[in-house]
Structures are given as C-alpha cells and as structure tokens.
Amino acid sequence: MPDDGLDFGLVVAGYGRHYVVETPEGRRVICHPRGKKSECVVGDRLRWQPAGDEGVIEHVEPRRNLMFRQDEWRTKAFAANLDQILVMVAAKPVFSESQLARALIAAESAGIAAHVLLNKADLPEIEDARARLAPYTRMGYEVVEVALKARTDEARATLSPMLEGKATLVLGPSGAGKSTLINLLAPDAKAQVGEISQALNSGKHTTTSTQWYWLDAQRTTGLIDSPGFQEFGLRQVTAQDLPTLMPDLREHLPGCRFYNCTHQHEPGCGVRAAVERGEISESRYRIYGEIREELSQTRW
Ligand SMILES: Nc1nc2c(ncn2[C@@H]2O[C@H](COP(=O)(O)OP(=O)(O)O)[C@@H](O)[C@H]2O)c(=O)[nH]1
Ligand SMILES: [Mg+2]
Ligand SMILES: [Zn+2]
C-alpha cells in the first residue's frame, strides 16, 4: 500500500454514483465518490479507501484521454485512458456513414487511435459496405474485415494481436455484432457482468452501461463495451478545428487561399477543389457541412 494509505483501483463499471472498482489483485468493490471532484468514468485509475464493505473514492488520477457522449441534456464523459477505439459496423444492417464519421471525429478529437471493424463478411451485402468504406481506407484508417459468427477462428486470429495488452473501446450501432465480439473474446463475459450486477445487487442496468471486460486471466487486455451508437459529444470541437479532425479534408487545407476558409463558398478552396477532383467523397463533404452547421448553432 502507498504512503498515503489509499488503495489503487480501476473503474470497470459505473451506475449513477455507484462505481465498481477493481483492486490490483482483481477484487471488486463498490465505491462512491467523496465529492464532485472524485466523480469518474470507466477506465479511470483512482485512489480509494474502505468504508465498511464498500469504498470511498478520494482521488482520480490524471487522465490520458477522455471520450464524451451526448444525451438529451448534456455532454457527459463515459470512458477514459483508452489505447484505441474500434468502430464496429457490419454488412447488414446498413450502417450510417454519418455516425461512423462522428465516432472517428470524436476519437481524433480525444487523441485516440481508431480503426474500423467491418463484420459479417460472409454476407453478400459486404460488397456495398466495403465500397462505402473505401474512402476511409484511402484516408488512412485501418479497415479490418471479419465474420465473427461465420468464421470465428479466423476472426479471433485477426483480432487477438490487434487487442493484446491494450484497452480498447468498442463502439457501433445495434446489430453490428458487439455482443458477439465480447462473447467470442471474453468467454466469461456473462460471469463478469454477473459479478458486477451481484455486487451492485441489481441486474437491471447492467446491459445499458459502459463496462470493462478482461480478455485474459493476467488482466492485461481490456475491452470496453458501450452499447448503442451514441451521439458523440462533439461540442468541445470548434467549427474551425473540425476539418483538422477529418484526415481527408485535413490533407487539402494547405491548398486554401484563406487561412480562415470554411470550405463552403470561398474562392481558392483546396477542399472543394479536392471534392471536384473526386479525392474527397461527396458524402464526406456533405457530412462535414452537416456537422459544421450543428457546431455553429450550438456555439452561438
Ligand atoms: N451473418 C452473420 N451474422 C452475424 C455475424 N456476427 C454476428 N452476427 C449476428 O448479428 C446479430 C447481431 O449481433 P450482436 O452481437 O447481438 O450485435 P450488437 O447489437 O452489436 O451487440 C446476431 O444475430 C448475430 O448472430 C457474422 O459474422 N455473420
Ligand atoms: Mg449487444
Ligand atoms: Zn477551403
């Protein structure tokens, strides 16, 4: 135990103001924040001390990074200290490119590496999905194709080295295969959830919240499941910064005549010239315009 007498912990789940904190030995304790300052999210490293069977969070360690989501009311942090983000889509159901783009922008804005995981490669619709993802490959994102259900061993062999030793946040729309992924790589996932619901003495919230899973007994590889394709909190992004968070647009910014070009109507715009040459896809340019419009509205 360190000098100050406080224990170390990792937040593996949180429900309201109850957090499930894992000790370095792998024991799980329900902890409560002492005050506003000790509020935390899944992935937080913290210091706590016992209070009866439970614990009190005294201090949250500085974060390497933080991801936000948007609910009806406000922007809220939901995961911290991530090594990478896997944005999961599938051949079917048809995915929203706008949601994919937003997830990637949120990752760029948080300074977290992101990759795209395309599932259900066994279905004929894979051709369309692949074509829609071609611009993302071109702008430098790694797009990894798997068939989690149809070609399980192959999928495991592809994913294991990508995930090993890292904390990976998995995001994606309902139906993409997130649960299939967790169950494939963390065969004891149900037990891990069960342990947490038991600790919290209620199972009712456990399927809708962010949750940390260990993929190995040594607890070095973490997968963080955050169900649903949230509206990402992009409010910390300014309209001026937005194109710098979109690699295909970013590449052409030096071609703009005006330093404060909005890439919408100015003459001598490198971005629009690239759209005309087909180097930026029409859909990416449209998504840029939509997000820019939203950011301008919320800001003023
Ligand atoms: N054809 C096909 N179906 C899959 C594959 N992987 C998952 N599914 C199916 O897709 C559906 C949604 O998967 P699920 O893991 O629940 O998605 P989630 O909503 O993202 O958690 C389920 O019926 C899975 O059996 C795959 O590789 N190929
Ligand atoms: Mg699911
Ligand atoms: Zn421009």
Residue corresponding to tokens 């390497």: 64
Tell me whether residue 96 is annotated as binding: no
Amino acid of residue 176: A
In this model, does residue 173 exceed pLDDT 80?
A: yes
Q: Which of 53-62, 206-215, 265-274 has the lowest mean pLDDT?
A: 206-215
CATH architecture for residues 66-231: 3-Layer(aba) Sandwich (3.40)
**Per residue in 45-84, is it b (16+ CB within 10 Å) or e — as a string?**
bbbbeeeeeebebbebeebebbbbbbeeeeeebbbbbbbe
In this model, does residue 2 exceed pLDDT 80?
A: no
Tokens (6 digits) for 58: 């005294």
Distance, CA of 47 to CA of 23 (rounded, Å):
10
Residues in the chain: 300
Q: What average pLDDT score do residues 187-205 get? A: 65
Domain residue ranges in the chain? 7-60, 66-231, 237-299
The class of domain 7-60 in CATH terms is mainly beta
Sign (positive/negative) of CA torsion 142, 147, 152, 154? negative
Residue ranges lining ligand 1, Cβ < 6 Å: 119-120, 122-123, 147-150, 172, 174-180
Instruction: Pick from 122, 158, 179, 180 the residue to mutate for probing ligand 1's pocket: most ligand atoms within 8 Å of its CB.
Output: 180
Tell me whether residue 5 is annotated as binding: no
CA geometry: angle 153, 154, 158, nearest 5 deg: 120
The class of domain 237-299 in CATH terms is mainly alpha
pLDDT tens-digit series, residues 260-293: 999 999 999 999 999 999 999 999 999 999 999 9
* CA-derived radius of gyration, the chain: 21
